[in-house]
């Protein structure tokens, strides 16, 4: 019997890689839509590679044809050059339209907690628009709303540890008492491929079991990487400036203004009950020796 075909956007990237791994482990056939060449596949020839080219709609439809489920992780972390949140939104709508035309049965879409068309933050607003397009698409759907993802390769928590390992001072925007609720990336992948995500329409928080204040999280990381670091409370604008200077050092965008604002507005927590089980504190016990050893570069991933 032929195994079911799933299409995953960005299977050589971050979340998509964990989703693809779990689908392969379940015996499904996996095709990815990505700008990466097949030679960058961590799965050898197990995952079929097709281009993620929004300029070629017919090709998108052809690449989605035959798929039962589309696992969509496509989004941009920040605008750069001609690629804005508005472009990312219209690209997402095009992908959804192509999935409908290709006869895809279901979409499992990775959104973000607190996505809203009314948000003053463009990242969250664009996500809200895409969520609505999915609800109105006629496709069967599951929308996952993660808080902030972590692993040894993530660009926020892992990179905070990277800075803590190297510098005696760490800037904190404002009081640092705003909440953050990390969720393990592989737990999100598990939710995505879970049989529960395969039927019925709805949105589900992808939420870890522990919430910290941002300062608590930084202190936890500093303890785990065994560093005594001075946490310097700064106005948000100066913290952002410091992150831009750090960006020059690592040749990356370390933090965006929307991320600082979203974090301080308490948008990186969920009102939903936790849906995943890995506790950040326990993960840190096991991974403390390795977290922050390697800097994870967003520009390196997507622009070089
Ligand atoms: N990372 C987090 O902490 C977090 C938290 C909450 C929600 N999310 C959501 O989770 C989803 C996956 O995030 P991720 O961090 O795992 O993303 P990712 O793997 O870095 O990228 C996911 C997909 O978006 C494409 N993409 C990303 N940046 C791009 C760019 N600048 N130009 C063109 N294509 C780009 C990738 O294309 P290629 O395959 O060609 O690289 C890939 O198909 C996103 O929808 C994000 O909003 C993430």
Give the pLDDT confidence of 6-45 residue by residue, as tens digits.
Answer: 999 999 999 999 999 999 999 999 999 999 999 999 999 9
What percentage of the chain's residues is helix, strand, coil (to nearest 5)?
40, 20, 40
Q: From atom 12 of ligand 1, which residue's Cα is the shortest distance away?
A: 73
Mean pLDDT across 185-210: 91
Per residue in 119-157, is it b (16+ CB within 10 Å) or e — as a string?
bebbbbbbbbbbbebbeebebebbbbbbbbbbbbebbbb
Ligand 1 centroid–CA 98 distance in Å is 19
Strands (E) in 73-132, as ranges, are 106-110
3-state SS, 219-277, equals HHHHHHCCCCCEEEEECHHHHHHHHHHHHHHHCCCCCCHHHHHHHHCCCCCCCCCCCCC
Ligand 1 atom closest to the Cα of residue 35 is 40
Question: End-to-end distance of the chain based on CA atoms, in angstroms?
Answer: 41
* pLDDT level of residue 198 (50, 70, 90 thresholds): low
Mean pLDDT across 221-241: 96
Nearest residue to 94 (alpha-carbon basis) of 146, 59, 48, 141: 59
Ligand 1 centroid–CA 75 distance in Å is 5
Q: From atom 15 of ligand 1, which residue's Cα is the shortest distance away?
A: 14
Ligand 1 centroid–CA 226 distance in Å is 31
Q: From atom 17 of ligand 1, which residue's Cα is the shortest distance away?
A: 14
- Convert the pLDDT of each residue in 149-181 to its tens digit: 999 999 999 999 999 999 999 999 999 999 999
- Regarding the beta carbon of 231 and ligand 1, being less than 6 Å apart is answered no
- Regarding the beta carbon of 189 and ligand 1, being less than 6 Å apart is answered no
Ligand 1 centroid–CA 10 distance in Å is 7
**For residue 60, what is the enclosing H or E element?**
helix 57-64
Answer for the pair 11, 72: CB distance below 8 angstroms, yes or no. Answer: no
Give the model's pLDDT for residue 196. 65
Residue 205 three-state SS: strand
Q: Which of 153, 302, 304 to mutate to test the pocket of ligand 1 (most atoms within 8 A of CB)?
A: 302
Pairing of strands 140-146, 106-110: parallel
Residue 173 three-state SS: strand
Mean pLDDT across 96-100: 98
Ligand 1 centroid–CA 116 distance in Å is 18
Answer for the pair 59, 101: CB distance below 8 angstroms, yes or no. Answer: no
278: tokens are 């890995």
The string of DSSP codes covering 10-31 is TTTSSHHHHHHHHHHHTT-EEE
- Convert the pLDDT of each residue in 36-77 to its tens digit: 999 999 999 999 999 999 999 999 999 999 999 999 999 999
Answer for the pair 53, 36: CB distance below 8 angstroms, yes or no. Answer: no
* pLDDT level of residue 197 (50, 70, 90 thresholds): low
pTM here is: 0.97
Mean pLDDT across 257-281: 96
Q: How many residues does the chain have?
A: 304
d(CA 53, CA 213): 40
Residue 88 three-state SS: helix
- Regarding the beta carbon of 270 and ligand 1, being less than 6 Å apart is answered no
1 pLDDT higher than 70 = no
């Amino acid at each position: 019997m032929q195994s079911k075909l799933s299409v995953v956007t960005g299977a050589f990237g971050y979340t998509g890689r964990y989703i693809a791994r779990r689908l392969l482990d379940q015996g499904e056939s996996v095709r990815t839509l990505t700008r990466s060449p097949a030679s960058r596949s961590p799965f050898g020839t197990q995952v079929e590679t097709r281009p993620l080219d929004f300029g070629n709609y017919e090709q998108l439809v052809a690449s989605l044809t035959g798929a039962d489920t589309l696992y969509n992780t496509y989004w941009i972390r920040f605008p750069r050059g001609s690629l804005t949140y508005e472009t990312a939104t219209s690209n997402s709508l095009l992908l959804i339209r192509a999935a409908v035309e290709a006869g895809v049965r279901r979409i499992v879409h990775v959104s973000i907690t607190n996505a809203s068309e009314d948000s003053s933050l463009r990242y969250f607003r664009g996500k809200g628009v895409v969520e609505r397009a999915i609800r109105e698409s006629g496709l069967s759907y599951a929308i996952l709303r993660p808080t902030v993802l972590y692993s040894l390769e993530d660009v926020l928590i892992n990179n905070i540890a990277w800075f803590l390992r190297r510098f005696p001072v760490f800037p904190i925007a404002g009081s640092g008492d705003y909440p953050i609720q990390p969720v393990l990336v592989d737990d999100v992948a598990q939710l995505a491929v879970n049989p529960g995500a395969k039927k019925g329409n709805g949105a589900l928080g992808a939420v870890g079991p522990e919430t910290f204040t941002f300062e608590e999280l930084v202190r936890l990381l500093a303890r785990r990487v065994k560093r005594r670091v001075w946490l310097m409370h700064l106005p948000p604008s100066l913290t952002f400036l410091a992150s831009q200077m750090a960006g020059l050092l690592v040749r990356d965008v370390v933090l965006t203004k929307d991320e600082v604002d979203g974090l301080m507005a308490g948008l990186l927590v969920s009102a939903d009950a936790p849906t995943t089980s890995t506790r950040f504190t326990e993960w840190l016990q096991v991974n403390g020796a390795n977290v922050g050893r390697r800097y994870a570069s967003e520009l390196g991933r997507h622009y070089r």
